Amino acid sequence: MHISDFDYELPPELIAREPARPRDASRMMVLNRITGEWADSEFRRLPELLQPSDVLVLNDTRVIRARISGKLERANGTQREIEVLFAAPLGDNAWEVLCKPGKRVRKGDRIRFGDGKFEGTVGESREHGLRVLHLNSPAELFLEMHGQVPLPPYIERENTAADAVEYQTVYANAPGAVAAPTAGLHFTDPMFENLRAKGIEIVKITLHVGIGTFLPVRTDDPAQHVLKPERFQMTAEAASRLNAARDAGRRIVAVGTTTTRTLEYVVQQHGRFEETSGEADIFILPGYDFKAVSAILTNFHLPKSTLIMLVSAFASREKVLAAYRHAVENQYRFYSYGDCMLIT
C-alpha cells in the first residue's frame, strides 16, 4: 500500500462549513460493500434501511471546550499570544497540549490564561508536536467556562455560539473528546424514537476522540503509521447486550469510525465484548478481518486519512473510492458537518 492509494480529488466548495439544519436533513449514500452498488438516499430514511433485529452502537463522548488563547511568558520577560489545544489529560493537573504557534515554545515557558490565575508551565516535548503542560489547578472547569469548541481547521471560520450545540451529538454524555464523533451529529431524539419503534436496539460506548484520529499519515507506507491511543470505556451492560446480539447472529451497526475501532479493539483483545476501559490503539487498514461490526454509518473522510483507510478496509478501497467519486459528482457535502454514508 501507498498513501497515494487513498487519495481523491475534492473541490473545496464541497467541504461543509455549516451543519445541516435540522440535523437529520443530511443526505445519505447507501453502499453495499459486497457488490459495490450504491444508492442516493436521505438520513431520515435510516430506520427503514435497517433491520428490526439490528443493534445500533453509539459513541457518547462529549467534546470539551479544548481550545483557548493564552499569553506565553519567558523568563527574560518576553511575551506573546498563543493558542493552546488541550489534547488529553495526564493526571496530577498535567495535560498534553498543542500550541500554535508551537515551534518556539520551550521547556520552562509559562502560559497564563484569562486573568492570569489559571496558568501552566511547559514541560517535555512529545511526539506529534505535543507538549506537556503542568497546571496550577484542574483545567476542566476553566475550559468549560472560557474555552472554545475545537472545530476542525478545514471549516475555515470562527466559532459561533451555535457550534457549541451543533458540534455535539444530542446524546453526548461523557466529557473528554477534542473532536466530535461526527457520524452521530445527524441523529435527533425523534429519530431515536423511530428506530426504537422499529425494534432496533441502541447501545452506547465511549471513546474520547483525540488528535490521533485526525493526525496526517506522513509515511508513504500507511502500515508504518502509528495511531496515537485514545481513551475508551465499555460498561458491563453494553458488553452483555452486544454479546447477546452477536450470539444471536444479529447485525451490529457502528455509528462512526470511533465506535467501529472501539468495538473491534475490545473483541480483538478479549475474543468477546467485555466490561473494560483503557486506551485503544487499533489501526484498521485494508486486509483487516472485522470481528465485531456488520455495518457502519460514517461521514465522508479526508483524502489519505486513517479514517478513509478504515472504511476502505470494510468495503474495499476500489468500492469506497468509486462511491466517493459519485459523491463528488453529485455534490454531497464532505467532512465533519457533511453528509453521511451507510455501508452494509
Q: Which of 201, 308, 207 is nearest to 258 (CA)?
A: 207
> Are the beta carbons of 93 and 139 closer than 8 angstroms?
yes
Residue 292 has pLDDT above 90, yes or no: yes
Q: How far apart are CA 93 and CA 125, in angstroms?
A: 17
Its sign, for the CA torsion 194, 199, 205, 207, is: negative
How much is the average pLDDT of 160-170?
97
At residue 127 the predicted structure's pLDDT band, cuts being 50, 70 and 90, is confident
Axis crossing angle, helix 317-329 with helix 306-315, rounded to the nearest 10: 110
How much is the pTM? Answer: 0.95
Lowest mean pLDDT among 2-6, 127-131, 283-287: 127-131
User: Degrees (nearest 5) of the Cα angle 119, 125, 128?
Assistant: 110
Q: How far apart are CA 152 and CA 9, in angstroms?
A: 20
pLDDT at res. 93: 95
Share of the chain above pLDDT 70, in %: 100
> Are the beta carbons of 198 and 52 closer than 8 angstroms?
yes
How much is the average pLDDT of 25-51?
97
Q: What residue has cell string 502500515?
A: 223
Domains defined along the chain, listed by start: 3-63+163-343 (3.40.1780.10), 67-146 (2.40.10.240)
Spatial strand order in the sheet of 230-234 = 38-42, 27-31, 340-343, 295-299, 252-255, 55-59, 201-207, 230-234, 276-280
